[in-house]
Structure 1
Amino acid sequence: MGRILVGIGGGISAYKVCELVSRWVQAGHQVRVVLTPMAERFITPLTVSTLSRHPAYTDGDFWQATGRPLHIELGEWAEVILVAPLTADLLAKIAHGQADDLLTNTLLASTAPVLVAPAMNATMWQQLSVQSNYKMLLQWPRFHSVGTRSGLLACDAVGPGRMAEPEEIYPWVESLLITGGQRDLCQYKILVTAGGTREYLDPVRFLGNPATGAMGLALAQAANHRGAQVTLIHAPVSQRIPPLEAVVPVTSGQAMYNAVMAAFPAQDWCLMAAAVGDVQPGTYHPHKLRKRDLPDCLPLAPVPDILQALSNIKQPHQLLVGFAAQTGEIEPPAWEKLIAKKLDAIVANPVDQAQAGFGSSTNWGIWLDRQGQRLEFSLVPKLTLAHQILTATRSFYSSASSGTSAAGG
């Protein structure tokens, strides 16, 4: 488990940070909280100390002599620092290296990666001075940003400046704990597919599968957190879609085929994590069929084979990774699929075991590639597994590029 330092700025959205602190503690992380003087006007030290199971730090603690300087201790202790909400004043101080309180001194005394979550009035956010400070901050390798969101603000204005929601910030910090803040995929364009396709018989009935899209979304998030330009093509999913370079929603296998084939030529890697159906009803009925009109035998037609089509047009610099959701013995059919589809690699995972597969928050699997390498991933949260898959993909890509072509064949 990790050590997370949370710096809370003086904004109305400070209340959202309380949920994050609680979740991290429940997940087993160690959490320390620093409140700026303005933050204390919005939430109390008692609130965050109760949630973090540790006394909260304020400027009153900073100016007391108690052995080693507190900002040095906290800066060295932290593995990841979250600053939320990042107000205009706090942004200006950090961007220009000012240190006049406990939080800003701690940031300067640390080498840990920092995630900022800006939040302010839309007019304030759009000021040239604020945007200049923000761009300056993001030029430094330590600093990462979850960005702002548009919507109704506390001042009743509508526009950019809302702080990102806790469910968006939480995985960002988890990624930074895993990677140490590395942007090791910043040179890659990565296409990820997610979700389970639906093949409609009529407007209300379809052939489908139980895929929720969680694994594909985790891959897209993890790649984005590591600096990649991510294109996500997704069938219906049960989770929030993360903000990415490009997001293309589809429903059917044919629609996913069309979208993937259009996007693939511009990509370096393609991770096909979507659960695409193999067949579709032979006839689509534009109006709901009455129960008595449902056919006793349903004629089926094949859905386009996306992996096979991609392997036929893949260029030497491109990498194609498939996924195989299996029951029973998962490895033999994955090897068969790897060879038959001419893939660079495949990730096989079970869907008939507890805490793995469709709808679970955790997963495990086996990586197999055309160089004969086999890696087994143990049961972990899907975001963690996503990072492990990306690391294996990067390693394979580097190895293949330095030897034979990464395209295979």
Structure 2
Amino acid sequence: MKTKTETSKKKVLLLITGSIAAVRIPLLVSQLAKENYEIRCVLSKNAEKLIKPLSLSILSRNSCILENDQWSNIQSTPLHIELCNWADILIIAPLTATTLSKWVTGNAEGLIPSILMANIKPIIVAPAMNTQMWLNEAVQKNYEDLQNYENVLSLQPSQGLLACDAIGIGKIPPNDLIQLALEFIISNNQKPYRKDLLNKKILITGGCTSEKIDAARHITNKSSGAMGLLMSQVARFRGAEVKYVHGPLKIDKDLTDGIKRYEIETSVDLINAIKNEISNCDYFFMNAAVSDFKIISNTSGKIPKNKINDYLNKNFELVPDILKTMSESKKNNQVFVGFCAFTGSIKEARIIIKEKIIQKGCDYLFANPIDLEGQGFGFLAQNEGWLFDTKNMEHHIKKTSKIDLANKLITQIISEKK
């Protein structure tokens, strides 16, 4: 992930409450410190029993703040107010059922609840608790109430093995996902965080397809699935209901946490998955890198090398244009967005791109160069691109991180629709 410069260093206030998941937070502090965030940690009384304050102080390069510090006689300003004023962004990880209850009912007893009451900055919420506690009716009601807070970005707890040895929902979201949410908020450039895609359904495809040649060979491409996944997470952070259809991902699977996703292999799998979902979506982003051709024959053996050329010539078939096919049944209230990788200059590619958007029948086409150093495939690559519509709009997004590009691209598209 992109390292912050000293001039753009963001101040993160990390609130840690007394779930056993708190033992994972020192790794998050270390991770954020390496990315050059300035971090201050606040520990609840119960969290102090799980993590050593000294560890957090050393990892964050700042003194760890404890419950007993709230009314210290060395404070010239109430501590909870001073901390809220200091921070650019807050993270509460883990969020326990007790702290959630205090927060939504306006109970400011304790330092962390007082901070939550006073805070108006963006805050990332990462709950963690036993499955039965999480599914308790009162907890679910409190969590639902929290979704109405405009400055709150909630990350649902994960499924998996819990500290009580049960398997279910309740794990704290992965540290990488918490950091991704942090980078998303920063990409808003100090504009207030808003859930501006609430009640919208978005279908996104991404990654490569793979076509079988024989038992030992297949046809595929370099797409990692990173751009489609980051668009999926950005849309989810902004309140949308997202479904992500993708080929094999060449990125950290932790970053898929919280996304409804369906893994496919071939172009036929992709077409079938899109057909099952396309009629229900408001926005469709066709970002998958589909193989241009496939093999008709379905052999169970390996073709000898001296016969492979003849085999390919006899069994070669072009894959249909999926976006063009889907656009034929597009509804008036739907927005379809295509993607086009190109090489060479945008001046040379512009004519082809404008022809493509008409041929494919989509509303927008985003074109990005893949032959420039540091750009193209993979999560860490940066990208730039040009968004075209069917008329004369051409919007350039300068070279930036993929999470920032995904956010800016979605912002541009929904603003155009308005």
Q: TM-score by structure 1 length?
A: 0.91
Q: Which moved more, 1:216-225 or 1:293-302?
A: 293-302
Which consecutive unaligned segments of at least 5 residues does structure 1 have? 399-409
Tell me which residue corresponds to 2:224: 212
For residue 51 of structure 2, what is the aligned residue in structure 1? 43
Q: Say whether 1:357 aligns with 2:368.
A: no
- The 3-state SS of whatever aligns with 1:202 is coil
Q: Deviations over 1:346-368 (max 9, x none)?
A: 11112222221112522221222
Report the equivalent of 1:113: 122
Deviation at 1:62, TM superposition (A): 1.5
Shift of 1:131: 2.6
Given residue 195 of structure 1, which amino acid in structure 2 is its aligned partner? Answer: G
TM-aligned CA deviation for residue 337 of structure 1: 1.6
How far apart are the structure 2 equivalents of 1:163 and 1:307? 37
User: Which residue of structure 1 aligns with residue 145 of structure 2?
Assistant: 136
Kindly state the Cα deviation for residue 244 of structure 1 after the two structures are TM-superposed. 5.0
Alignment of 1:5-404 (within 5 A): 5-65=13-73, 66-179=75-188, 180-239=192-251, 240=253, 242-243=256-257, 246-296=260-310, 298-299=312-313, 300-330=316-346, 331-332=349-350, 333-361=352-380, 362-398=382-418
Contact conserved, 2:245 with 2:270, CA < 8 A, in 1? yes
Give yes or no for contact 2:209–2:291 (8 Å, CA) kept in 1.
yes
Structure 1 residues 329 and 296 mapped into 2: Cα distance closer, same or farther (>3 Å)? Answer: farther
- Give the SS at the match of 1:42: coil
Aligned to 2:3: none
Task: Assess if the C-alpha contact under 8 Å between 2:158 and 2:258 holds in 1.
Answer: no
Larger mean CA deviation between 173-182 and 369-378 belongs to 173-182
Aligned partners of 1:110, 1:374: CA distance in 2, in Å?
39
Match of 1:407 in 2: none
SS of 1:117's equivalent? strand
Q: Is the 8 A contact 2:354 2:390 kept in 1?
A: no
| Secondary structure of 1:314 counterpart | coil
2:125 aligned counterpart, secondary structure: strand
2:321 and 2:301 map into 1 onto residues whose CA distance is 28
3-state SS of 1:67 partner = coil
Is residue 232–residue 259 contact of structure 2 (8 Å, CA) maintained in 1? no
Aligned 8 A contact 1:235 1:249 in 2? yes
Please say if residues 213 and 238 of structure 1, whose CA atoms lie closer than 8 Å, have aligned partners that are also in contact: yes
Instruction: Give CA deviations for 1:272-311 in whole Å, capped at 9, x if unaligned.
Output: 1111111112322123334455344613101121111122
Q: Deviations over 1:366-406 (max 9, x none)?
A: 222223122222222211110011001111211xxxxxxxx
8 Å contact kept, 1:204–1:288 = yes
What SS does structure 1 have at the residue aligned with 2:65?
coil
The corresponding residue for 1:406 is none
Residues 37-57 of structure 1: CA distance to partner in whole angstroms, max 9, x if unpaired? 111111122222222222221
Distance 1:6 1:162 in 2: 18
Q: Which amino acid aligns with 1:87?
A: T
Q: How many correspondences in the alignment?
A: 398
1:226-269 CA-partner distances (Å, limit 9, x unpaired): 01111211111123262456422211112212221332111111
Q: Secondary structure at the match of 2:404?
A: helix
Q: Secondary structure at the match of 2:199?
A: coil
Cα deviation for residue 23 of structure 1 reads 2.4
| Structure 2 spans left out of the alignment, 5+ residues | 1-7
How many Å apart are 1:145 and its aligned residue? 2.0
Shift of 1:139: 3.2
Matching residue's letter, 1:39: A
Counterpart Cα distance in 1 of 2:401 and 2:23: 27
Question: Residue 232 of structure 1 contacts residue 244 of structure 1 at CA under 8 Å; is this kept in 2?
Answer: no
Distance 1:360 1:172, change over 3 A: closer
**Aligned-partner residue type, residue 91 of structure 1:** L
Note if contact 2:33-2:60 (Cα within 8 Å) is conserved in structure 1.
yes
Distance in 2 of aligned mates of 1:230 and 1:8: 29
Amino acid in structure 1 at the alignment position of 2:320: P
The residue type paired with residue 43 of structure 1 is I
Contact map agreement 1:254 1:304 (CA 8 A) in 2? no
Q: Could you tell me how far apart the structure 2 residues matched to 1:318 and 1:309 are?
A: 15
8 Å contact from structure 2 (residues 173, 257) kept in 1: no
The letter of the residue matching 1:50 is I
What displacement does 1:271 show? 0.9
Distance in 1 of aligned mates of 2:157 and 2:41: 22
The answer to whether the Cα contact below 8 Å between 2:177 and 2:257 also exists between their aligned partners in 1 is: no
Note if contact 2:384-2:399 (Cα within 8 Å) is conserved in structure 1: yes
Name whichever of 147-156 and 290-299 sits farther off. Answer: 290-299
Offset, 1:4:
1.9
- Measure, in 1, the Cα distance between the counterparts of 2:82 and 2:246: 45
Report deviation, 1:132: 2.9
